[in-house]
Amino acid sequence: MTATFRPTNNVTLPTAWYALQPLWQGGEEVVQKGLPHQQLAPTWQILLLGDGSPTRHLQLLTGEPTEVDVIDMSPIGMDLDGAPKQIQAVPGPRIRRQVWLRKASGQRLAYAASWWEVAHVDEYLQNRTLPIWASLARLRTELYRDVQGIYYGHSAALEAAFGYPGPFWGRHYLFWHDKKPLTLIYEVFSPYLTKYLGPMQTF
């Protein structure tokens, strides 16, 4: 896929977060079953619907460390923040974290918003510049990634940030630790990854 937009390095974040405007979305049943390959190619389904670490997958795909640019850490109290309904499983008051995941050389690969209980965010994100997976791995935290929803949709802000036109694929999931929900995460992946994963759809 050829980029028709130039990445904007000074993309700043307003008080809101970057949710996709869905053209299509599916819930937990769709996630468990998987999608027809003509809708989403198998390689992309492994990334989006699998329960492995996306930052680890991105590092393996690109051959470069996955680095994080933290662009927002906002206390939101008990507000539901327009997040997926599973935010209610995360105890409040909450804080919202937003990041770009990128190659060490600079190319943005994904966007992520996550919601944490304020009382525990410092415990699990001791170094906030690390990817969540790296932070929790250092703590030897046992986790279960519970993918709850998948999206295909537009975002003008993400087009500018990624340097690629939409639509984009995204998902949200709960992290469980010690049988309790730890955080809710919403991720959107850049079409740049077609370089490694191939086309998003098979025809």
One-character DSSP codes across 107-165? -EEEEEEEEEEHHHHHHH-SSTTS-HHHHHHHTT---EEEEEEEEEEE-HHHHHHHTS-
Q: Homologous superfamily of 22-159+177-197 in CATH? A: Chorismate lyase-like (3.40.1410.10)
Residue numbers in the chain where pLDDT is lower than 70: 1-15, 122-143, 202-203
Residue 180: per-residue pLDDT: 82
Residue 33: per-residue pLDDT: 93
- Euclidean distance between CA atoms 144 and 175, whole angstroms: 6
Residue 56: per-residue pLDDT: 84
Question: Are 55 and 131 a contacting pair, CB within 8 Å?
Answer: yes
- Euclidean distance between CA atoms 21 and 123, whole angstroms: 33
pLDDT tens digit string along 67-107? 889 898 889 999 999 999 999 999 989 999 999 999 988 89
Domain boundaries, the chain: 22-159+177-197
Contacts for 193 with CB less than 8 Å, ≥ 6 apart: 47, 58, 61, 109
Residue 146: per-residue pLDDT: 87
Model's pTM, two decimal places? 0.84
